[in-house]
Structure 1
Amino acid sequence: MYCVAVTFRVHKDHTRAFRARVIRQAKESVDLEPGCSVFDVWTDPERGDEVFLYEIYDDRAAFEAHLQSAHFKAFDAEVAAWVADKKVVTWSGKA
């Protein structure tokens, strides 16, 4: 198993559009990628400019395939200007 956690800080004037687009990205990832079993999107009203993603892949190769997918590349290009900061953390295996 391969876990990916991403925290985005989004420019305030793009938070609504970003949230809608990332929810679509999550659905496409689970629906189109056999190696992606979980893609959750989390927000907190007290941190309205932050969006947290929690993704589970079969392995690192499945995540690398995700990064090369057409739907990910389209998402990444569309939201690039909306994102003020992005932090990615990964884990392998289960403890």
Structure 2
Amino acid sequence: MYCIFISVELKPGARDRYLELIRANARTSVEQELGCHTFDVLLDREQDDRVYLYEVYESPQALQAHKETPHYLRDREQINALIERQQVIRADVAGFFPPRS
């Protein structure tokens, strides 16, 4: 399994719109993409304009397929306009606890 963890710093005042768009993207990704196993949206408790995304895919190829879906492409321009900066960490999943099938 392949994971990305993204730290997103939003532009001032962009939080509500970003969350609306990214939650819809996350929900659709997990529901419609066989290769997307997890897409969590996390809120920083100390910085209102910081959001974290934790995404688990079957493989790097499944992540690439995610980036080519209609729901990803439809909102990408709007989402990007709300982001001040972001950092992406890429990792392989060593284990899930509890285990997933």
CA distance in structure 2 between the partners assigned to 1:16 and 1:34 by the alignment:
28
Query: Following superposition of structure 1 onto structure 2, how do residues 12-91 of structure 1 map, counting pairs within 5 Å?
Result: 12-91=12-91
CA distance in structure 2 between the partners assigned to 1:46 and 1:93 by the alignment:
27
Paired residue secondary structure (1:31) = helix
RMSD: 1.3
Paired residue secondary structure (1:68) = coil
Render the CA deviation track for 1:59-93: whole Å, top value 9, x for unaligned: 11111101111111122111121110011111124
CA distance in structure 2 between the partners assigned to 1:67 and 1:41 by the alignment:
17
Where does the alignment leave 5 or more consecutive residues of structure 1 unmatched? none
Structure 2 length as normaliser, TM-score? Answer: 0.87
CA distance in structure 2 between the partners assigned to 1:70 and 1:56 by the alignment:
19
Paired residue secondary structure (1:7) = strand
Bigger radius of gyration among the two: 2
CA distance in structure 1 between the partners assigned to 2:93 and 2:9 by the alignment:
28
CA distance in structure 2 between the partners assigned to 1:52 and 1:93 by the alignment:
17
Partner of 2:98: none
CA distance in structure 2 between the partners assigned to 1:53 and 1:46 by the alignment:
16
- Give the count of matched residue pairs: 95
Paired residue secondary structure (1:47) = coil
CA distance in structure 1 between the partners assigned to 2:50 and 2:34 by the alignment:
28
Structure 1 length as normaliser, TM-score? Answer: 0.92
Structure with more of its chain in helix, by fraction? 1
Paired residue secondary structure (1:20) = helix
Where does the alignment leave 5 or more consecutive residues of structure 2 unmatched? 96-101
CA distance in structure 2 between the partners assigned to 1:21 and 1:12 by the alignment:
16
